[in-house]
Structure 1
Amino acid sequence: MAASTRFPTDRLSSSSIRIRRPLMAAVAATSLALMLAGCQSTTSTDVLKVERAQGSQQNIASLSAVIAANPQDPEGYNVRGSAYGRAGEHRRALEDFNRAIELNPRFYQAYANRALVQRSLGDQAQAAADYNTALQLSPNYDVAYIGRGNLYRQSGRLDDAFRDFNRAIQLDTTDPRAFHNRGLIYQARRQHEKAIEDFSKAISLSPNSAEPYNGRGISFAAMGDDDNAFQDFNTAINLDGKLAESWANQALIYERRGDTARATKSYSQALRLDPNYAPAKTGLARTRGGAKPA
């Protein structure tokens, strides 16, 4: 089970637009105990949830017309780069962010945006350099702390990631990703009460996101509070029924309650959504084989 795989953990931003992109990853675990022993992400899509209209070809065409009329305005390139990022056209996004920075070398939002694209293209070192530059230019830019924190977290540098998420929170960020991601680190450290506080804050800031409910539910389950865990997993399913981890999390609670039939059904639904989701595979094998979860 994973503590959430698709919460929007990164954001392309500009002075006029902020764009969300996806993130976080599944931790293969055969039981709650194993999952909680290592609930950090092991893989990451870094694909943000897309606001389709803003990444549409129609919107990009409109932005291109603005750039044609104002070719020396770096903001136009930054906004269009963000739209390309939403549409998954990373190479074109990178070209626009490069141009924005060429026109304005102190454009800190463009550096942070370019860092996110570079992460998507696998250039982690350059992404880190761009986040560092963004923070040198704007030391209170919470988006860059969160982005760099995610970079650190996914590379296993949890202490560095924790410091960056803390810094964003100290800056009074209203971005739910800072709390959600710090909650994941608390969870990895088995500090579940603190994790629950952070996931709850993320929920208050983004009540329609399924992922922090999954995260909080896992910590509730780790503390033996299956009722609250079950409620959170059900809420996650109601908000987004296409997340395999939500169904696998729900199945685990059914399994712990001895309701093998419902557990099997939920694990099967998780596998329909993601045939490679390891926690659902192992859970289904247990329920069909009569074994009990740890």
Structure 2
Amino acid sequence: MTGLSLALAACNTTDTTDTIRINKAQGGEENIASLTAVIDSNPQDPEGYNTRGSAYGRAGEFKRALSDFNQALTLNPRFFQAYANRGLIYRNMGQPEAALADYNMALKLNPRYDVAFIGRGNVYRQAGQLDAAMNDYNQAIGLDTTDPRAYHNRGLIYQKRGNHAKAIEDFSTAISLSPSSAEPYNGRGISYVAMNDDDNAFADFNHAIELDGSLAESWANQALIYERKGDMRRAYKSYAHALSLDLKYQPARDGVARTRAATGMPAQ
């Protein structure tokens, strides 16, 4: 494959903006102990359980998170934020039907809750129901949301449908709302590649690496531009680094296989 077909095969977007970023520090003993102390001082306050549940979720302790959200909802059955937070946990646990039920309840309690529209849209998008997902993102944006995920994830749908000009607009808005996030730079860069604007794509991929050097996607995308320019040694180096970050990331594996011969490196 060469040219655009190679670009589209090598570039991937990930769902990192609509799944929980695991952050063990936020679920560390000291932080949890502090939140538990707040709950112990006022065990009838549902907000304490909701806050600790969110911390457990970010730490990847989903069962404990569910327990806290359940307790928050027992204390306040109209706590729409807790429904949406529990919906995110269910989504991360691979239970989309339970997630949808919670997002629907959050929206029943608060029809203007943008977070629930975005969360439900993410479930729909993951299930391939792109029209339903687009409608939810549009709803959130129509509520003047400042949550960058609405624009980023709508941009992913535009991108999937080949409307790269619209995708670039949405990724740019997501960047303006969250300039320290690497994901929208990767998304916008991929659409630039699709429009054969390698210079802007390269700038976006490099900036994504500056913001977060731990994303295999960013390094594989950078490698793609090197490959399109014919700089196979640098392409191989970046693909190999991407693969070292995520051994299961297929674009990196494919890129290493394509560019290895040009470097003189033996097959593994």
Q: Which runs of structure 2 are paired with 1:32-51 in the superposition (5 Å)?
A: 33=5, 36=8, 47-50=19-22
Gaps of 5+ in 2: 263-268
Cα deviation for residue 182 of structure 1 reads 0.4
Q: How many pairs were matched up?
A: 262
Match of 2:47 in 1: 75
Match of 1:267 in 2: 239
Q: Of residues 51, 65, 69 in structure 1, which corresponds to 2:37?
A: 65
Cα deviation for residue 122 of structure 1 reads 2.1
1:156 aligns with 2:128: yes
Change (3 A) 1:42 1:247: closer
Equivalent position amino acid for 2:196 in 1: G
Counterpart contact for 1:268–1:280, Cα < 8 Å: yes
Change (3 A) 1:164 1:47: closer
Match of 2:266 in 1: none
Equivalent position amino acid for 2:220 in 1: A
Q: Percent identity?
A: 69
| Structure number having the greater helix percentage | 2
Counterpart contact for 1:195–1:219, Cα < 8 Å: yes
Q: Of residues 196, 209, 224 in structure 2, which corresponds to 1:224?
A: 196
State the SS of the aligned residue for 1:229.
helix
Choose between structure 1 and 2 for higher RCO, CA contacts under 8 A separated by at least 6 residues.
1
Cα root mean square deviation, aligned: 2.4
TM-score by length of 1: 0.83
Match of 2:177 in 1: 205
Gaps of 5+ in 1: 1-28
Change (3 A) 1:210 1:253: same
Partners of 1:282 and 1:117 in 2: CA distance: 32
Range moving further from structure 2, 157-166 or 280-289? 280-289
Equivalent position amino acid for 1:262 in 2: R
Cα deviation for residue 66 of structure 1 reads 1.9
Change (3 A) 1:132 1:73: same
Match of 2:156 in 1: 184
State the SS of the aligned residue for 2:146.
coil
TM-score by length of 2: 0.90
Partners of 1:243 and 1:41 in 2: CA distance: 11
State the SS of the aligned residue for 1:235.
helix
Counterpart contact for 2:83–2:103, Cα < 8 Å: yes
Moved over 6 A (4+): 37-46
Cα deviation for residue 69 of structure 1 reads 2.1
Partners of 2:46 and 2:79 in 1: CA distance: 8
Change (3 A) 1:104 1:229: same
